Amino acid sequence: MPDPRLPAATPLRPRRTAIVVGASSGIGAALTRKLAAEGYTVAAVARRADLLETLCAEINAAHGEARALPFPHDVTDYDSVPATLQKILRTFGHLDLFVYNAGIQHHVRLDEFDFEKDRAMLETNLLGAVAWLNPVGAMFHALKAGHIVGISSVAGDRGRIGAPAYNASKAALTTYLESLRNRLTRRGVTVTTIKPGFVDTDILRAAPKKNFFWLITSEQAAEGIWKAIRARKQTAYVPPQWGLLMLIIRHIPSFIFRRLSF
């Protein structure tokens, strides 16, 4: 049975539901707010329970009803994913939209080769995504309906000299989402890959380099992601001008690209 605290669905007001994994701050928190404002009931999933509680309380107070519920979970605890997903489904009754936004980026010096940092980024950015997207994909495959959104990055479009493991994690996520899309499209399921550029989040604030161009807020990123969700796009750069820039960067010959410093 769905949680009685949730708003009841009516023929004129169907209750759409979403899961946002990585919802406690940054893009995830902004997108959770945006989805709630658009009428979704959102399961906010993240490791930091205190931030989740605060976020959901803020959203519910703003709308005068329960539109966001917290579900604390560490995405690297892969074995607990099925139980967490089932708990959300029992609470919500059904699922329309799933967003995997969890991600970390450690600063890596150009002379640094740190396996622990690299492993942490791969575990959260890629393995955590696969751990969630496999059961969600299987469920939507059986239902012949649903929408999956994965937050990748422009960093995955090319192997830059900075943070090789971060770039690799996002490149792998992009390819995994494309494969999932090709598998699930024929079953009526939409899979959208989002590739943000520079977003003013904790990850970027911790970076040593500060001359970021086309910098947007988390709220602006959430708005761009929402437009891509509404349009059921396959791939969307946020903001859109990154699409043209990355098209150019992807076609720079390797012997030139390896000499670049970004």
Catalytic residue list: 166
Element (H, E) at 42: strand 40-46
Count of H helices and E strands in the chain?
10, 7
Angle (CA) 136 131 169, round 5° = 115
User: Which of 29, 16, 57, 15 lies closest to 151 in space, CA to CA?
Assistant: 29
User: Which of 95, 89, 86, 88 lies closest to 70 in space, CA to CA?
Assistant: 88
User: Which of 163, 166, 158, 156 lies closest to 112 in space, CA to CA?
Assistant: 163
Distance from C-alpha of 14 to C-alpha of 193, rounded to nearest angstrom: 26
Element (H, E) at 91: helix 81-92
What 3-state class would DSSP assign to 92? helix
Distance from C-alpha of 171 to C-alpha of 176, rounded to nearest angstrom: 9
Distance from C-alpha of 50 to C-alpha of 118, rounded to nearest angstrom: 27
